[in-house]
Amino acid sequence: MEKRTIVTHPGIFHADDLFAVATMMMLGIEFDIIRTRDPEAVEKADFKIDIGGKYDWYTRCYDHHQDHNEIRDNGIPYASFGLIWKHFGHVICQSDPVAKIVDRNLVQIIDAGDTGIKLTTPLIKGVRPLEIAWIVYDLNPWDVDNPDYDRAFMDALPFARTIISNQIRRADSIAKMRPIVRRAIEESMDERVVVLENETGPWQDILVNETNALFVIFRSTEGDWKVQCVPKEVGSFDMRKSLPSNWAGLKDDDLSTITGVQGCIFCHKKLFIAGNKTRYGAVKLAKLAFKE
């Protein structure tokens, strides 16, 4: 296959252009990457990313700096990463549902940061989450006398590809868990408790967005059973219902004594998860938590 060219802007790079180019490199096509603003080079390139002043899939120009930019239904504008993912994400993932999960969990976060949409608020003055945009920004060569931004960009591409690959793998797990979790919901005797008998994997996506479940019970990788509170939002530690406050931080016999349930292992001091040696014990802990 004939080698294609990608042109993007030179100088300091950001997560948007880095991840957009990294996505293209995952298509199995051989590319030459040119970082320039030379109009002739931009015009001749097969793909223009984060440069060119327009979004036009026909001419393979994926810029977002023009006045009339594409905006998602939730209000997050498309940056160049999002525009590239919109056209090629499903090809790389070989699945529309998986590509949509990656868009939600990774692409939209980077697009929001690049277009001025604030997703987080510092909870402690002077301390904020280390967002991926800043991690990428710090990959630029700040500490050298004659910085080679092009070399740093190329060196950073494998990092971006690894993150994309991991997000695809996780999204694939979420998609595969959906029918398993839905079946567990249907088989549940109490809609507030969902028991995952033989499968472990990412369950929050479904239980948070599609149910009113309060607790999920599952076998851990160590062979014991966990009862975990369902959060109000995916990834949050703000629970729909926490475990009883007098369980906090207790272990083994101390937890078994206060609960009356044999085989207890621990209860996290933040009251979002507890462990028991048996499925029966974990279910009993969940039922006790309802009474609080």
Could you tell me which residues are beta bridge partners of residue 275? Answer: 226, 266
Return the pLDDT at 92: 97
Q: Is the residue at 179 inside a domain?
A: no
Tokens for 1? 């296959």
Q: Indicate the angle between helix axes 80-93 and 149-187, nearest 10 degrees.
A: 60
Q: Is the residue at 180 inside a domain?
A: no
- How many domains does the structure of the chain reveal? 2
The mean predicted confidence, pLDDT, of the chain is: 92
Q: Do 28 and 62 reside in the same domain of the chain?
A: yes
Q: Do 144 and 216 reside in the same domain of the chain?
A: no
Strands 215-219 and 225-229: antiparallel
Return the pLDDT at 199: 65
Q: Is the residue at 45 inside a domain?
A: yes
Return the pLDDT at 126: 80
Q: Do 126 and 211 reside in the same domain of the chain?
A: no
Tokens for 222? 């160590």
Q: Is the residue at 181 inside a domain?
A: no
The last residue of one of the domains, among 171, 202, 231, is 171
* pLDDT greater than 60 at residue 1: no
pTM above 0.75, yes or no: yes
Q: How confident is the model at residue 137 (pLDDT cuts 50, 70, 90)?
A: very high
- Contact of 33 with 155, CB cutoff 8 Å: no
Q: Do 50 and 130 reside in the same domain of the chain?
A: yes
* pLDDT greater than 90 at residue 125: no
Q: How confident is the model at residue 194 (pLDDT cuts 50, 70, 90)?
A: very high
Domain that holds residue 262: 188-290
Q: Is the residue at 183 inside a domain?
A: no
Q: Do 70 and 157 reside in the same domain of the chain?
A: yes
